[in-house]
Chain A
Amino acid sequence: MLEALLNTDTVKWAEMPKEEKNGIVVSSRVRLARDLKQVPFPHRLNAETGEACVKLLEQAWQSCQVQLPQFEWKNPEELTDEEKQLLLEKRMITPKFAENAKKWERLLVKEDGSLSVLCNEEDHLRIQCMLPGLALEECLREANQLDDCLEQVLDYAFDERFGYLTACPTDVGTGMRASILLHLPAIRMSGQLSKVVQNMSQLGLNMHGLYGDGTKAFGNLYQISNQITIGQSEKEICSFLETVAGQLVEQEKQLREDLKQKNPYPFIDRITRANGLLRNAYMLDAAEALSLLSDLRLGVDMGIIEEIPTSVINQMTLLSNPGHLQRKAGRKLSAIEKDNLRAKFIQEKLSVAKTS
């Protein structure tokens, strides 16, 4: 089941959003941290307590299995490095889980990759839901359902004052981290990014690049997330985040129009050039591919080049990652081969998108 997901160039959050308002909001995510009473937190587990804790969690999953038929329980030891890399690139696991999972860590995952639970990583449970487009409310609802299911069996550590008790006190309260992934090329091009990042932190939000860091994000993909986890309800946090994302979208749209009006020739040239390179290049390195795909996404959003579905652009972005490239090629690749196949696979995607 997980095998099927690993063999695709996509994952739930990269698919077409239900209602596509614009291409600026890529995806939404909600993550809930939950820990058990009377069990040491994951970083304090040892071989003995770790095994006991896994047993508790696995039993809980088994008793929920009827309600969760499309889920699979995975021991990271059963996964190859390549498979972990794929899950990492699909944003379903953390680098820590991919590189250095302890004996007592587990992964519970839904077949379409929309829901996953990391067990005994930072917390006993980290329930995550990721969906395409602006969909925090739906992410929260789905994560809550899974949470309720597991809580029927597991004794969560909960306190009336502090809320859900988590391994790290910065998560305490709701235990929730919500985030929205946005494509913000115009904000970056107009030099306003550092100002926006600063504004976000004043609003109690965190902003950083999906690939690379805050100020130098490849592909202009940025994630905003809440820093506050206590004193506000989950719904309040989500709706605030969606409001801020909405403002960023407006700002981005405005700046796109400004850029186009001020310098229409170079602006359009940049996009048509990216389109040409993506369709004809023999080699594309990762940084170049991400940057050209960003220009392409921008061009499609603004109607400068013909329609290419968001899902296809997302697939090409995923395919620019080394794990996905090697999976599709079916073997380990040298750096030069990667650049060559990256170009080839992107062209395949683009030619299919054109005819469909």
Chain B
Amino acid sequence: MAYCDHCKKNPATMHMIQFINGERTEYNLCEECAAEMGGSLFLPDAQFSLPNLLGSVFESVLGGAQAHKSQTKICPSCKTPFSEVGKTGKVGCSDCYAAFADEIESSLRRVQGNAQHVGKIPARNGKPAQMRKQIERYKQQLQKAIGMEEYEKAAEFRDKIKELEKQL
């Protein structure tokens, strides 16, 4: 049985390859020493860091003069500078989304292919959004009703749209 290169006590159960400044070192380690040296078997959800990746996308999306202008932007609410968002991949508060809307939108388009939410809308804080969505649905039904020459139905939808638009 091979013993751990580090503690020389326990049986080695893991093989670790470390690169430091391009220099390759291999170890046979026991579970405990491996964990100490930063390599553990049990690391649930170990993912490479997406935020940092996003930071670099911010940089590549915003080339040249626009980049310079963006770098100097600061969120009026939490005072987070955009340069920090580029570095950490995190915004400081919900108002940052308005302050850096252009930058976020273009990077979302690049990374996610889209920047328009179509999913769930919160019941309370999303009321206007929900009403607008409902109006859209009624408008489609209105067109359909007109197409089918069901004018009574169409009038109903028209009234519903008017009612909702008044509330907005």
Contact = CB atoms under 8 A, between A and B. Distances in A.
Nearest to B93: A40
Given A163-B119, A335-B31, A157 B94 contact: yes
B13 A169 contact: no
B100 to A, nearest CB: 9
Contacts of B120: 144, 164, 174, 233-234
Interface string B3-20: 000000011011000000
B129 interface: yes
A40 B126 contact: no
A35 B94 contact: yes
A302 to B, nearest CB: 26
A157 B30 CA distance: 47
Interface residues of B, number: 52
Interface residues of A, number: 65
Given A44-B92, A211-B41, A229-B112, A151 B122 contact: yes
A174 B117 contact: yes
A165 B42 contact: no
B29 to A, nearest CB: 11
B97 A168 contact: no
A211 B14 CA distance: 13
Given A163-B119, A211-B41, A230-B117, A40 B92 contact: yes
A262 interface: no
B13 A288 contact: yes
A336 B105 CA distance: 54
A167 B91 contact: yes
B132 interface: yes
A213 interface: yes
B114 to A, nearest CB: 3
A236 to B, nearest CB: 8
A160 to B, nearest CB: 5
Nearest to A176: B119
Interface stretch (B47-55, B65-73, B144-152, B157-165): B47-55
A37 interface: yes
Nearest to A162: B97
B13 to A, nearest CB: 4
Contact of B46 (A36, A156, A213, A233): A213
Nearest to B104: A169
Q: Which 7 A-B residue pairs are closest in the complex by CB-CB distance?
A: A231-B114, A163-B117, A157-B94, A174-B119, A285-B13, A233-B119, A165-B94
9 contacts: A36-B94, A37-B94, A44-B92, A151-B124, A213-B46, A228-B112, A228-B113, A287-B14, A335-B31
Interface of A: 35-41, 43-44, 88-89, 91, 94-95, 144, 148, 151-152, 155-165, 167-170, 172-174, 176, 204, 206, 208, 210-213, 218, 223, 227-234, 285-288, 290, 321-322, 335-336, 338-339
Given A95-B44, A321-B42, A335-B31, 4 more contacts: A91-B44, A152-B123, A165-B94, A169-B107
